[in-house]
Structure 1
Amino acid sequence: MSQYPLRVPDYLMEQARTAAEEENVSINQLLVSFIAEGIGQRKAWRALQKRAGRGDPKKALAILESLNGQAPEPGDDMPDISKR
């Protein structure tokens, strides 16, 4: 296992201490968990970007246009923002 000296601002360290106490884990466990979660989210985002880059906008629009005004399936319609 590797070690890395990390400088953390006091206010963040205090928040980490509080969160670790709430989760009943060590600060080290909490920070490793947060780092792993962040890296996982970054990898997922990059994979989505790569996949989107392979898409063809013209083909996607053609699929939507082929629906010829069909109503969306129940529960898949746009929210009514006028009710807000």
Structure 2
Amino acid sequence: MSTFALRLPDSLYAHARKLAEQDQASLNQFITVAVAEKVSALNAVAFFAERAGAAKPGDLASFLAMVPERSPLEGDER
């Protein structure tokens, strides 16, 4: 595991510390989870951008054309 000295503005440090306490976690654990969430979100954006870039115009229309025509199920009319 790596260590990293982090400089935070006092107000952000105090807020993060309070949130960590509410979450019953150490500040280190709270910040680690926050960084992991951000990395995951950015990876997801990159993944979907790559997938969308591979799509061709008309792909969605072709996919939707495979759905059979039928009335909505009871309760799904709206």
Q: TM-score, normalised by structure 2?
A: 0.76
For 2:77 and 2:37, locate their aligned partners in 1 and report how far apart those are by CA, in whole Å.
30
Q: How far did residue 11 of structure 1 move?
A: 1.0
For 2:58, the equivalent position in structure 1 comes to 58
4+ aligned runs moved over 4 Å, structure 1: 61-64, 70-77
Number of residue pairs aligned between Structure 1 and Structure 2: 74
For 2:31, the equivalent position in structure 1 comes to 31
* Equivalence map 1:1-84=2 (5 Å): 1-61=1-61, 73=72, 75=76
Indicate the RMSD between aligned Cα atoms, in angstroms.
2.5
* Structure 1 gap ranges (5+): 78-84
* Structure 2 gap ranges (5+): none
Distance 1:73 1:41, change over 3 A: farther
Q: TM-score, normalised by structure 1?
A: 0.71
Distance 1:15 1:45, change over 3 A: same
